[in-house]
Structure 1
């Protein structure tokens, strides 16, 4: 059975799972409501994802790099060949670029969380991978994320913050290694490491009687779940992040964190890639903000 965009109700399984699909830069938010009603499970999600987003959104391609716009709620790769991942989507779309000698067929020089969408740079040969990895290790690469967080981070737009909170493994979840914590929870925080994030407030608004803020984030270090933890630690968890947020965030159809820009110099070519702002939703009522201004150079230049 081939599912069309209007056939989401054809799927019915046991677990309730809010569901969304990104296709051709369009957010089908009505699917979220249909998913709640029809009890769509995460397993059904992967089936529909492959059919509605069977071609990864390519942002840039050269003989050295392939840059894609990763959808949220999908793994980059997995040892389980039955799972839908960026790896399997790329293999289907670019079979000639797949390298069977590699464990996961492609060079993944950096990563994005399962729930995070946005820019993912994939080197196409070993030398390019080594060069890009070196740039990351030497802190020459700059990555920027856009997020919608709970609450008003500041009293006005354009406010900037510098968050310095060490991050370590949460010993309460040591067996799964799925959750980290900050030094605020020192009794549970194993091997905390210095972590730094720059934050700039882009807009203040409301969503269904909840105060929200649109923020630009720049991780200076690269700890696991760093942006999610730092936002949560200052009292403003990312909307839809029920791991580090509240139970109310389970009602959201996705986590609102997106890698919107990357500057990645390397010996083969300097990569300057950005996407549009994916978080333009009429339900988000922001005060006096022009969505086109998110990519204004001043926002990036004014980061601390």
Structure 2
């Protein structure tokens, strides 16, 4: 059996819940097939047998994942997500130059499954309401190539929401193998999307908790820094 201490990046542990830092390329829950059984939940359950999934990140997305310890806590945390009282913030690097401003902008575009191309999603007026806040931190342009470091806050929790919303405004996330063009995919070794903040009221203690995680592509952002044409506000 693998050493789970080496396979789990533990951010927080108490008697009721866990916060873990998921690497890119790891599933949150088992997939179909023997080769897709290794996942964050399976690793967590080896160490905490009562660990249960509350929400998920895409396989290609890295960052903070909250897990419950026991069914009662899973229900309480699930209700918090459903009632949109959990603060979630992501960081991404996207294709193209976006305007750098202090205020947040909003993408309000309903999403639904693109059935002929499953598991892809698409913007469609008949889809479910989907809202994302975004704010560009810095932007760089080198000839015809441009990129923007952006903060994202999904106010709803649709599948692939951030990826499709950014694509819909002409700024796909670099390294996106599902929604990016060949050029966009080639500009990064992985999807440059990271769940960097989680904040919520602990259902058992009523304490306000907030966790932060720096993306593992932060060195890439630093390498861009000499090209950034607009300073971080």
TM-score, reference length from structure 1: 0.67
Residue 210 (structure 2) pairs with residue 272 (structure 1): yes
Q: What is the CA–CA distance in structure 2 between the aligned matches of 1:288 and 1:193, rounded to whole Å?
A: 35
Maintained 8 Å contact 1:207/1:284: no
Partner of residue 58, structure 1: 10
> 1:140 deviation in Å?
1.0
Query: How far apart, CA to CA, are the structure 2 residues paired with 1:159 and 1:237?
Result: 21
Alignment counterpart, residue 284 of structure 1, candidates 192, 214, 224? 224
Q: Indicate the SS of the match to 1:229.
A: helix
1:178 to 119, 130, 133: 119
Which stretches of structure 1, 4 residues or more, deviate above 6 A after TM superposition? none
1:127 aligns with one of 51, 72, 91 = 72
Q: Specify every segment of 5 or more residues in structure 1 that has no aligned partner in the other structure, as ranges.
A: 1-49, 100-105, 294-304
- 1:225 to 2:160 alignment: yes
Select the residue among 75, 83, 87 that pairs with 2:41.
87
Q: Deviations over 1:198-251 (max 9, x none)?
A: 001111124796200011000011111000000000000011113112111332
CA distance in 1, matches of 2:111, 2:170: 16
The residue number in structure 2 matching 1:98 is 49
Question: For residues 247-286 of structure 1, what are the alpha-carbon distances to aligned partners after superposition, in whole Å with 9 as ceiling and x for unaligned?
Answer: 1133221000000001122421433111124323243232
Report SS of the residue matched to 1:264.
Answer: strand
Secondary structure in structure 2 of the residue aligned to 1:212: strand
1:162 aligns with 2:106: yes
Q: Do the aligned partners of 1:116 and 1:256 also contact (CA within 8 Å) in 2?
A: yes
Structure 1 residues 207, 221: CA separation in 2 closer, same or farther (over 3 Å shift)? farther
Instruction: Name the larger-Rg structure.
Output: 1
Distance (Å, rounded) in 1 between the aligned partners of 2:158 and 2:61: 15
CA RMSD of aligned residues (A): 2.5
Count of aligned pairs between the two proteins: 223
Task: Tell me: higher relative CO, structure 1 or 2? Use CA pairs within 8 A at least 6 residues apart.
Answer: 2
The one-character-per-residue Cα deviations of 1:93-129 (angstroms, maximum 9, x if unpaired) are x1xx124xxxxxx310111001100000011111111
CA contact (8 A) 2:55 2:66 kept: yes
Map 1:109-124 → 2, pairs under 5 A: 109-124=54-69
Question: TM-score, normalization: structure 2?
Answer: 0.86
Q: Give the distance between the partners of 1:288 and 1:232, measured in 2 at CA.
A: 22
1:76 is the counterpart of 2:28: yes
**What runs of 5+ residues in structure 2 fail to find an aligned partner?**
none
Distance 1:81 1:64, change over 3 A: farther
Greater strand content: 2
> 1:209–1:89: structure 2 CA closer, same or farther, 3 Å change rule?
farther
For 1:195-206, list aligned pairs within 5 A: 195-206=130-141
